Amino acid sequence: MFGYVRPQKTLLEAAQFSRYEAGYCGLCDCLQRQFGFAARFTVNYDLLFLFFLLGDAENELTVCRCPAKLCRKKQCIRRSGMLVFTAKVSVLLYYWKLIDSWHDTRGLRKLASGVCALALRGAYRKAKKTQPALDARIRRQLDSLNTLEAEKSASLDRTADAFAEILRGCAAILPDEPQRRAAGECLYHVGRYIYLTDALQDLPEDLKTGSYNPLQYRYALTDGQLRPEDRAALLLTIAGSIDRACAAFALLAPRAEQTLTTNILYQGLPAVLQSVAAGHFIHRGHKGELDEKSL
């Protein structure tokens, strides 16, 4: 369900995109230094956006080594309190997704989920110790989502809301109430966009595997495809969430990475949505490179 919150590279200067990559590498490095090597595998583009949105202090660059290319040094954003917080969110969210997968799947997927959750258990306990309220919120919202899935809910709003409220809760770290509300609203609609875009992307595969997808219950499918009018309605409601996320973002004080965050919200999200709708999107949400052909 991750990998849909990306910048539109063609509209960024090279120096700005380099800072984006430095943010990704910085988050990956922070995950290992705070929680161990296994935590690196939780890094994703969507939570990097969380860091860019919530951070309001100037980010310094440093040098780190990439575990995928040990002989290569890369620029990365230096660890900060907000980067550590983002790493905690990443560990907590990914751990509970693994637990849910372990409960809901069978065979090799169940085994893989269980092994990965076990490898991440120490990191999870450490993150939970300092963020118990956020951990409880993630667990509560995923439980609500699981209940809706078990009921085969046809409601796009209820299912998307269950996930979106997780991201809204991350804004609680901001001390200023108006800024917290605006950031929370922005994150809520980014979360809604993620959930519904993922549902559209995964619909063909979910129909093959029998996995829950709200679209198959909300709409009458024709040969496993959404009818043109239903696809248009779905794209309209997702675009509406992008618009609301942008409107809430406009109420925030300028961010440390204002150019990057603006690009992601105003250009990146619509570009990804268009790519998913056209069937060209390549999901690479946990890899350190962006697939430019998919955007």
- 25-48 per-position pLDDT tens digit: 999 999 999 999 999 999 999 999
pTM: predicted TM-score of the whole model, two decimal places: 0.92
Q: What does residue 77 show for φ and ψ, rounded to 5 degrees?
A: -70, 135
User: What tokens appear for 103 in the block?
Assistant: 């409960």
Angle between helix 177-209 and 269-278 (nearest 10): 10
Pairing of strands 69-77, 61-66: antiparallel
* pLDDT of 285 above 80: no
Query: How high is the pLDDT of residue 1?
Result: 64
Separation between Cα atoms, residue 91 and residue 123, nearest integer Å? 7
User: What tokens appear for 175 in the block?
Assistant: 């001390």
Separation between Cα atoms, residue 283 and residue 292, nearest integer Å? 11
Q: Which domains does the chain have, with CATH numbers?
A: 9-294 (1.10.600)
* pLDDT of 130 above 50: yes
Segment 265-284 shows an average pLDDT of: 90
Q: Give 76's strand partners.
A: 62
Segment 130-155 shows an average pLDDT of: 95
* pLDDT of 57 above 50: yes
Collect all residues with Cβ–Cβ distance below 8 Å to 68 and sequence separation of at least 6: 288
Average pLDDT, the chain: 91
Residue indicated by tokens 């350190």: 288
Residue indicated by tokens 């809204």: 168
Angle between helix 14-35 and 81-104 (nearest 10): 70
The alpha carbon of residue 198 and the mean position of all alpha carbons in its chain are separated, in whole angstroms, by 10
Query: How high is the pLDDT of residue 65?
Result: 83
The confidence band for 110, taking pLDDT boundaries of 50, 70 and 90, is confident
* pLDDT of 2 above 50: yes
* pLDDT of 286 above 60: no
- 236-253 per-position pLDDT tens digit: 999 999 999 999 999 999
- 210-229 per-position pLDDT tens digit: 889 999 999 999 888 999 99
- 115-126 per-position pLDDT tens digit: 999 999 999 999
Separation between Cα atoms, residue 143 and residue 149, nearest integer Å? 10
Other Cβ atoms closer than 10 A to 129:
10
* CB of 196 closer than 8 Å to CB of 237: yes
With pLDDT > 70 as the criterion, what percentage of the chain qualifies?
Answer: 95
Collect all residues with Cβ–Cβ distance below 8 Å to 136 and sequence separation of at least 6: none
Collect all residues with Cβ–Cβ distance below 8 Å to 11 and sequence separation of at least 6: 263, 267
